Amino acid sequence: MSEAPRVLVIEGIGPAREWLRHHLHVLWPAAQLTELAPAAAEGMPDEFGGGVFDLVVLSLDERREAALEWLARYARRPGFPPVVTLAGGGDEALAVRAIKAGAEDYLPRERLRHAALVRALSQALASRRREAVPTRTPGGVPRGWRRLETLHSGEFSSVVLAEHEDSGERRVYKLLHGGGVDLDAGLLYARFLAEYQSIAGLDHPNVVRIHDIGVSDDQAWIAMEYLPGGTLAARIGRGLAPGEALAMARGIARGLLAVHGLGVLHRDLKPGNVMLRADGQPALIDFGLAKAMRSEQAITSPGMIFGTPWYMSPEQGHGAPMDERADGYSLGVMLFEMLTGERPFHARTPMALVYQHRNAPRPPLPPTLADYQPLVHRMMAADPAARFESTAHLLMALEAAA
């Protein structure tokens, strides 16, 4: 038995989740727990193979029928980890349904004590028999695709361009390093999955199209469309006329309006996260930090700071609650840079940049661009209440400026 099993816990009730967390860590102090709300689990892709986990604990107390459907969809797949189900107020009929759907065991909460839970989980883990099925080529991309080049490589993920061996279609694959979710107790995988869930199914010219997601024992990836025009960062380096800068900002705002309409914040808007189509239209990419505005199961919590300090809103830089106006602020910083070729604030350390975004005077535009000063300064207002109240209002202002 592994001393540090990787356990997926699907439980939406706070006290029950805390109870499970306590007992699991008593049994396996080094256990790596990934916790998902039932609604998030239901959004998992059909390709999910579960091989990155050693055990699944599934609650049937919330959204019971959906949980049983989830169980039936995944549990009997080759290589899927054993699933132990829990339910309060259950009965023999529910136990039979859970076992038929593929559960390794069914435990009623009312009569459950630590010893019984330990015994059931240990037996389930001991029963695991992996059936590894290769799903990728040595280059990290799925079978049938040929890796052409690495577009970006970071500490936790890389982005590669691949071509289909038969059709010649090109796609971009974002690959998660480190063997699926076996990183930081599944937090990176949770963000990776959230990136897919944030905009999957959205078809908008100013947002990258996500094709699918894949998960296996040692790999997780997201496939997205290939945008051949390079990054906005490179385009800024070549220089933009004022009209081109305003047109680019309008396209980005339209993309933001689409994702904000889904209840999603980007939270890492910067020129490197905007790609250009063949016709020069901008498209938002990289939703790895995206966060549902109304989500109760946030991956990051207030007080945690993620993003790029050059373009980060004051509230994000100080770990305060955010809404769509935070993305609007980042767009304001980008518009300043598109118009001038320079970032508005400069400092030697990230924290000094965070301080400037909140406290420093907004830098003026050159006299030849003075007509755009009110627009840019309002977008970059330190106080969210002084900015445009919504992305729709911001887009109208950008259209009027044209």
Active site residue 268: yes
CATH for 378? 1.10.510.10
Same domain, residue pair 107 and 215: no
DSSP secondary structure of 333-374:
HHHHHHHHSS-S---SSHHHHHHHHHHSPPPPPPGGGGGGHH
pLDDT tens-digit profile of 333-381? 999 999 999 999 998 888 889 999 999 999 999 999 999 999 999 999 9
Same domain, residue pair 66 and 108: yes
Q: Rounded to an integer, what distance in angstroms lies between the CA atom of residue 111 and that of residue 108?
A: 6
Q: 396 CB contacts (<8 Å, ≥6 apart)?
A: none
Same domain, residue pair 153 and 169: yes
Catalytic residue among 268, 286, 371, 383: 268
The first and second tokens of residue 207, run together, are 């947002």
Same domain, residue pair 255 and 366: yes
Structural domain count of the chain: 3
Q: 21 CB contacts (<8 Å, ≥6 apart)?
A: 9, 33, 35
The 3-state DSSP class for residue 266 equals: coil
Q: Is 359 exposed, middle or buried (0-12, 13-18, 19+ CB in 10 A)?
A: exposed
How do 170-176 and 220-225 pair as beta strands? antiparallel
pTM of the entire structure? Answer: 0.64
Q: Where are the beta strands (DSSP E) in 95-139?
A: 105-108
Same domain, residue pair 280 and 366: yes
**Which residues, given as ranges, of the chain have pLDDT below 70?**
1-3, 45-47, 51, 90, 128-139, 154-156, 177-198, 215-219, 288-307
The first and second tokens of residue 125, run together, are 């883990």
Q: What's the angle, vertex CA 287, arms to CA 286 and CA 288, rounded to 5?
A: 90
CATH for 170? 3.30.200.20
pLDDT tens-digit profile of 259-288? 999 888 888 899 989 999 999 999 999 876
Q: Is 266 exposed, middle or buried (0-12, 13-18, 19+ CB in 10 A)?
A: buried
Among 315, 319, 232, residue whose Cα is nearest residue 269: 232
**Structural domain for 286, as ranges:** 232-401
